[in-house]
Structure 1
């Protein structure tokens, strides 16, 4: 997975379903995800975050890929 600052994220782990989260910092070794609606910040190695259920928010990804309406 390609982790990028500004990317919208969700966590779909049954014990902790989170949405409305965003990557606020990223480097080769760690990623920081902020979930402002619930007031938490998660930091970890990308592969470990992915194992814990973190993934891109497909809804926001689909919206960003929609063509702009033409006038």
Structure 2
């Protein structure tokens, strides 16, 4: 039997759940979780990958920490 999964809807539900958990964590612990990213080198594809990982983090109330390479145009945030 084939099951069709609506990936967008599922992803939106996961994001909502994580956002609620992050909010509860922040209230309880007085700490904001974060994501640290170290980008080494100037490969534009790596910059796109990192940028795409950071976007959802910003919507989830996480702090982000970036160690930028000497090629800041790789991220173009």
TM-score under structure 2 length normalisation: 0.21
Q: Which has the higher contact order (CA 8 A, sep 6+)?
A: 2
Q: Which has the higher strand share?
A: 1
- Kindly name which structure, 1 or 2, has the bigger radius of gyration based on alpha carbons: 2
Q: Which has the higher helix share?
A: 2
